[in-house]
Structures are given as structure tokens and as C-alpha cells.
Structure 1
Amino acid sequence: MIYGPTLLFALGQGAIIPLIPTMATGLGADLATSGLVASALVVGQLGGNIPAGWLVARVGERLAMVISGVLALIGAVMLPFATSITVLTLAVFINGFCAAAFGLARHSFMATHVPFHFRARALALLGGSYRFGMFLGPFVGALLLVSSLQAAAVIWFLIACLAATVLLVWLGPDPEREFVAGERTPAPRQAAGPENTAVNGPATAGMSLPDGAGAREGVFRTMVRFRGVLARLGLAASTLSALRAARQVVLPLWGVAIGLDAQTISLVVGISGALDFALFYASGQVMDRFGRLWAVVPSMLMMSSAFLMLALTLDWHSATGWFVALSAVIGVANGLSSGLLLTLGADLAPKQNPAPFLGSWRTLTSAGAAAAPLIFSAMAAVAPIGVATAAMGVIGLFGTWGFLRWMPRRGGRG
């Protein structure tokens, strides 16, 4: 009941995303317009986080997931009947908007109920469930296209996944009630210390509230109260999101720049993604056992160094070999930070009412992911691609410094 709905939601999304540009071109859009239609998904996710924080705080995690699932279902039903670019864009936007609400509701639930000493592993599994769905979805979509030769089959698969998600959340056992019932029994106090008290001295003072301090505050009052952590650690977290999003743009374009064919590029990017996915639980283990810094700092240093090194290899005779090796490094590095943003958001949010804070936190991380491809594309348009790639590495180094400077330590650990 905790991970199943996330997997189903991501499976449907993963199946339909590759088809969005094709559907747009089928309605007469050019390549640029098709890209804008596809970007409506990211825009919807970015714009949905703060309203989702308000919704979850008002109605609870379970009802918020049902509402967002039903709205996403309405958006999916619009897809087969979309006869214009406007309707298609609106349907894609609704899907992204609802994905933000669905994800925040589950994130808020985990932040409230999962104990600190295994929080990172639990959230790494949550992130891994979403990644697995997004990884498997395109293959299911391709299989449906091969068997039916119609994009409508993939759309109806999305509708079926969303309907199953809503039914599972609405009719299945409510994990929130079970956790609340369990929490009524006193449990031994963990040695990790208070769950919402940062103990890193002046650098992190005021970054967290005592339990219950934000129990009845709304989204905007929470943003003001947490402006310190959002301006500092939130900015560092957005650079991690930026690196993750940049690799999805940089690696394919770099393969084109060094003259590789589409099949080779897809294979290299696929291997990088497989390494990323394989390490998601190991990341949770590292964060729980040694601290958050031991996952995020090596991850960001590896990704930043790989982007900087890649920028130097464009004209080398061994450019292809370096591309393969550095793509693998980036995949491993990203896997080492799996679940980090979810975990850090849960660490910093007030336990009694985390949703308003998490709405702002996820907006910042989504903004980083949305901005990175735009920054890279803009720089690549006016400078060599190596300069644009190196800029991503520099952004990562600044983010690493931000985590080292402002990450709360607990008991001497990050």
C-alpha cells in the first residue's frame, strides 16, 4: 500500500511520456512546438507542488492521492479525444500537476511516520519504485505499439494504471491509520536524537522547527518561517536536481557531437540508467548508517568531475571510450544519491505538518530540474558544447560546497 500506488502511477507515466512528441506532431506541431508540449509535464510538476502542499495539509495524504489520481485520470481520458495542440498540452499539464500532488502526499506520509534511523532506506525504496515504473513503462508502451500499431493502446494502458492506482488507494488498507495506531504504543527512544532538530551550530540554526510548531500553519507562512533552509539547503538541493536533469540532455547530445549513431547512444545512456537504478537501495543504506553527507558529497563530486572531464574529450581520438566511461560514472554517482532529496526534505520538515514545507522544498528541486536543460541549451546555442557541459560541472561544485556548508549534522554525522 505504500510502494504499490507509486509504482502503478509511474508505470503509466513512463509508458506515455515517449509518445507525447509523436502525438503532438500528429496534430500538426513542428519539432519546437512538440518540445513545448512535452515540457508541459515538467511545468505541471513545478506548478503543482505548492498547491499540493496546501491540499495535503487540508485533507490528508490518502484523500489527496485519490483526488490527484482522479484528476490525472480525467487528463488521461482527454488524450484520445485531443483534436488540437491546446487540448493535448492541457492534458499533459494536468498529468504533471497531479503527479506532483500524488508524489508529495506519499512523501508527506513517509516524513510523518517513518522513524529517522531507517528513513533514508524507506525513501530510497519509494524513489526506486518510481524509477522502476519510469524505467519499465517505455518498454510496456513499445510492446503495446508493436502488438496493436496504435498509440491509443498506450493511452488506455495509462488510464488502466491510473484507475488501478485510485482503487488501490481508496479501497485498500490505509497505511496512515495503521501507523497512527502503532504510534500510540510507546517505543524506545532512538539514539539518533530529536527528529526535527538540526545540531550543526550557527550554520543551520533555525532550519528546523520543534515537533508541532508548524502543525496548523499554511503554505506561505511555512515558506516564510523556513526561508533560511529554503534559501540555503534548498538552493543546494536544486543543483543536485539540475545535474540529474542535465545528464538526460547532455549525454545524448554529446553522443551526437562525437558522431555516434542513435543505437549506440541509446545503449550507452541505457547502461548509465541501469547503473543508476541498481544502486538506489545502497544509497539509503549509506545515508542511514553513515549520514546524508556521505551520499551526497561523493555523488555530486563524481558527477561534477565527470561533466568537467567530458568537456575536455570532444576532439580526443578516444572520445567514444571516454564517453562510455564517464556516462557510467555519472550513472553510478546519481545512484549514490538516490532518495537524498526525499530524505533531506523529510529530515527538515516539521513532523506534525510536513506537507506545506515539502511543497516549497519540492518546488525548488523541480525548478532546478526544469532550469538545467534550458541553461545548457542556451549556452550551447552561443558557445561550444564543451563549454555548456563544463558549466554543468561548475554548478555541481557550487552545490557540493552548499551541502558541506549548510547540511545539518546529527550526532556528528551529516
Structure 2
Amino acid sequence: MAEEQARQRWTRTLIAVYGPTVLASVGFGAVIPLIAIQARALGASVGVAAFITSLTGIAQVIGDLPAGFVTDRVGEKYSIVLACLVDAAVMSVVFCSHSLPVLAGAVFCHGLTGAVFGLARQTYLTERIPLGWRARAMSTLGGVMRIGWFAGPLAAAAIINRWNLTTAFGFAAGMSLIAAIFTLTMPDLPGEGHGLEAIRQRSRADHARTLSVLRTNRRVLLTLGVGCLALQLIRAVRQTIIPLWCEAHGIPAATTSLVYSMSMGLDVLFFFPGGLIMDRLGRRWVTLPAIATMSIGLLLLPSTHQTLTIALVAALLGLGNGVSAGIVITLGADVSPTYGRSQFLAGWRLFADSGTAIGPLVVSAVAAAAGLPASALAVGAIGLAGTWWLSRYVPHRTETRV
């Protein structure tokens, strides 16, 4: 009887955590590919449209440390609710307004809410899930986000075909609103009150100072954190360089989409096996093979010139990315201290999100100076250096910190 109740409690927890993530990710996935198109429709040049699109990543980096402050004061559950409500509001503004500055401001706010949403989910799972299940829980979190990102563009295509482009932003607002309501079903963390009482308890509690926490944990951040920055850089480059490489070789856009979708399919297929390996054998058994596989794939890319060979490299990159789903947030949870956890994870995510933002910039800079093949080789070399770096600092055994 007790076992059955425990299983029901965990089932409720997992559905309450992953449900809002799927819903919000479908909304995010629907609008992210449309930002540049909407900007162009409002009269922006190609350069301005690209800049507005990049505001999401920029805002996420800027918002990482403040997200730690918000999560620590408000709590994980209500931080997610707040992020979803604000995102629903800004997407509604885009739906109702036809102004380029409003679109830019909304995209920036979307990045800030993404920082709060991501940190609060990671902290909640770190607190709630037992260590023996942590990697599977985190990898599943990464997996359901990928499912949402995959389904979102399909939903947006159907909506645009039936109505118009701005309606997709209204759809995203609705998904964020439903995610906020769904989040209210999440169980409170042990020892916390309910509703406003939980927030009052947080406000009265002793709060760690962000800079003090980061200073205390600077060795972990400057070793393992830098390695994860390299891993995120490789992941971000994959999303940029495969479409560019296909375009450079005259592959039609429809075929390019199929190649990219196949790579994304492997992402979704391998996320849970990766988490299982991490929990059973250790984090190194996924971290090092994953970054090495993606680095080798990028080094092989300049030697591919046909659709089939490019697709094989894209598959290799998708395999490495899929099996390592959730590894960065898992490692962050493993090394996070109990006191000041939200502030530490905010700093941890700052490193990871910086890698995501830097990756496309590296491709752009090297490609402008020496061509697209050189950019693939340069990032592949960075990945191999990151593999060596992580081999020094990824722990052999999984332990928690006090």
C-alpha cells in the first residue's frame, strides 16, 4: 500500500513537472523560427531581423543571475508560474501589435522568462528527485523539451496556413498560459507551505548572496563549468552549420529540412538511454563520448559533398546531442551546494548559456575570415580540446555536495 502511494506520488510529480515543459516548449518551438520572418514582415532588414532573433539568447545570458535571485525568493514552483504568465503576456502583445520595437522588446523578455523557467525547473528537480534517478529525470526533461521544439513548428505551420503569421504568437501565449495553470498542480517542496504562505516563508528565510556563492564555488565553475561551456558551444553550432553546409552545396530547402529532422529524430530517440547510462555507470560514460562524437562529426563535415554523406554526419551529431540530453543540468545539480543552490545554478547556467550564444558567433567569424569548412574544423578542434578538459574534471563517481 505504501509502495503504491509512493509510486502515485512520484507519477504526479513527474507529470506536473514535464507537462508544463512540453506545453511551454511547443509554444517556444512555434515562434522561435518565426521571429526573423515576423521582423522582416514589419520592415526590418536582414541584419536587423537576425539581431532581433539573437535577442533571445542574449537575454537568457543576461537573465541567468537575476533568475537565481527570483527563484530563491519566490520558490521554484511559483517562479515557473511567473515566467509562464509574463511570457504569455509578451506573446499576446506581439499578437495584438504590429510594431518592430515591440517585437524586439517581446523577444528580449522571452529570453528573460526562459532563464527563470529553465533555472526553476532544474532547481526543483534537483531538490525533488533522488540522486539515483537524477540523470534520467534531467535527460527526460531535455527530451520532452526536444519533443516540444519538434511539435511547435508543425503546429505553427498549420496555424499560419489556416490564419496568419501573428496568430502563431497568440498560440504561443495560450500554451504559456496553460503551462502556468498546469504548474500550479506541482507538489510543493518538502517543508514549504502552500500558495502565498510558501512565498512568505521564502521571504523570511536566510538568503545566500549570489556573488558570495559564486566566489566560494569558483573552482568548480572555472573547471567543470568551462568544460560544459565548450559542450554547449558544440551543440549550438550543430543547429547553425548543417543548414548552411546544405545550402552551400545546393541541396534544396525541403531536403535540408529532412536532413535536419532526421538529426532531431535521433535527439529524441536517445535521450532516455543516455540518462540510464549516466545513472548506472556514471556521468563520464556519456559526457566524454558525446562531445567527442560531435567534435569528430564537425571535423568530418568538410569532406562531405553529397546529401547522403552530409546526412550521415548530421546523424552523428544528432546521436551525440541526443544521448547527452540533460547532461549539463545533471552535472550542475551534482556539484551544486545545498546552501545557495539557486544562486550557484544561476552561475552554472550562465556558463552553459554563454556557450550556446558564442557557438554561432564563432561559426560566423571564422566563416567570414576563412570560409565555412574552416569554421567546422575550428569548432571541431574546440570540441576535442573540450573533451580533454572534461576528462580532467568530470567526476568518476556521482556525489552530492552539502
TM-score relative to the length of structure 1: 0.87
Query: Take 1:133 and 1:242, find their aligned partners in 2: how far apart are those partners?
Result: 22
User: Are 1:300 and 2:291 an aligned pair?
Assistant: yes
Provide the C-alpha distance between the structure 2 equivalents of 1:48 and 1:299, rounded to a whole number of angstroms. Answer: 28
Q: Structure 1 or 2: larger helix share?
A: 2
What SS is found at the alignment partner of 1:29?
coil
Determine the structure 1 residue equivalent to 2:209: 218
TM-fit CA distance, 1:378: 0.8
Deviation at 1:321, TM superposition (A): 2.7
What is residue 290 of structure 1 aligned with on the other side?
281
CA contact (8 A) 1:112 1:351 kept: no
Amino acid at match of 1:143: A
Matched, 1:153 2:167: yes
Shift of 1:322: 1.9
**Amino acid across the alignment from 2:332:** G
- The one-letter code sitting in structure 1 at the alignment partner of 2:325 is S
Task: Check conservation: 2:139, 2:275, Cα contact below 8 A.
Answer: yes
List 4+ stretches of structure 1 deviating above 6 A: none
In structure 2, how many angstroms separate the alpha carbons of the residues matched to 1:398 and 1:84? 44
Instruction: Name the structure 2 match of 1:248.
Output: 239
Q: After TM superposition, give the deviation of residue 86 of structure 1 in Å.
A: 1.5
AA in 2 matched with 1:311? P
Residue of structure 2 equivalent to 1:195: none
State the Cα distance separating 1:166 from its structure 2 match: 1.5
Residue type at the aligned position of 2:370: A
CA distance, structure 1, for counterparts of residue 207 and residue 48 of structure 2 = 43
Q: How far, CA to CA, are the matches of 1:18 and 1:219 in structure 2?
A: 34
Question: Do structure 1's residue 332 and structure 2's residue 319 form an aligned pair?
Answer: yes
Which residue of structure 1 aligns with residue 387 of structure 2? 400
Q: Which runs of 5+ in 2 are unaligned?
A: 1-15, 193-205
Contact 2:231–2:291 under 8 Å retained in 1 = yes
Matched position secondary structure for 2:303: coil
Query: How far is the alpha carbon of 1:389 from its aligned partner?
Result: 0.5
Once residues 114 and 258 of structure 1 are traced to their aligned partners in structure 2, the CA distance between those partners, rounded to angstroms, is 47
Q: Distance in 2 between matches of 1:226 and 1:169?
A: 31
2:241–2:376 Cα contact (<8 Å) kept: yes
Q: Which residue, 363, 377, 401 being the options, matches 1:376?
A: 363
Task: Give the distance between the partners of 1:31 and 1:20, measured in 2 at CA.
Answer: 12
2:187 aligned to which of 154, 175, 182: 175
Contact 2:68 2:342 in 1 (8 A): yes
Q: Give the CA deviation at 1:333.
A: 1.1
| 2:264 counterpart of 1:273 | yes
* Cα pair 2:61 2:354 within 8 Å, conserved: yes
Q: How many Å separate the matches in 2 of 1:14 and 1:327?
A: 20
Q: How does 1:18-97 map to 2 (within 5 A)?
A: 18-97=33-112
Corresponding residue of 1:119: 134
2:356 is the counterpart of 1:341: no
1: distance between equivalents of 2:348 and 2:390?
Answer: 15
| Structure-2-length-normalised TM-score | 0.89
Alpha-carbon displacement from aligned partner over 1:14-65 (angstroms, at most 9, x marks no partner) = 1111211111011110111111111111112111111111111112111211
- The structure 2 residue matched to 1:164, chosen from 151, 170, 178, is 178
Describe the superposition over 1:258-299 as per-residue Cα deviations: whole angstroms up to 9, x where unpaired. 221111111111101101111010110010011000001111
- What letter matches 1:176 in structure 2? D
* Aligned match of 1:100: 115
Matched-pair contact (CA < 8 Å) for 2:22–2:148: yes
Given that 2:18 and 2:141 are in contact with CA atoms closer than 8 Å, whether structure 1 keeps it comes out as yes
Rounded Cα–Cα distance in structure 2 between residues aligned with 1:123 and 1:352 = 21
Shift of 1:83: 3.4
Q: Residue 79 of structure 1 contacts residue 88 of structure 1 at CA under 8 Å; is this kept in 2?
A: yes
Q: Aligned partners of 1:134 and 1:44: how far apart in 2?
A: 19
Q: Structure 1 residues 82, 40: closer, same or farther in 2, change over 3 A?
A: farther
- The CA distance in 2 between the partners of 1:68 and 1:350, in whole Å, is 25
How many residue pairs get matched? Answer: 372
Identity %: 35
Deviation for aligned residue 1:255: 0.8
Report what 1:311 is aligned to. 302
Instruction: Tell me which residue corresponds to 1:16.
Output: 31
RMSD after superposition: 1.7
- For residues 339 and 124 of structure 2, the distance between their equivalents in structure 1, rounded to whole angstroms, comes to 10
Query: Offset of 1:352 from its aligned partner?
Result: 4.5
Q: 2:317 & 2:182 partners in 1: Cα distance?
A: 36
Paired amino acid for 2:45? D
Residue in structure 2 matching 1:4, options 13, 19, 26? 19
**Match of residue 139, structure 1, among 154, 162, 165:** 154
Q: Is the 8 A contact 2:334 2:398 kept in 1?
A: no
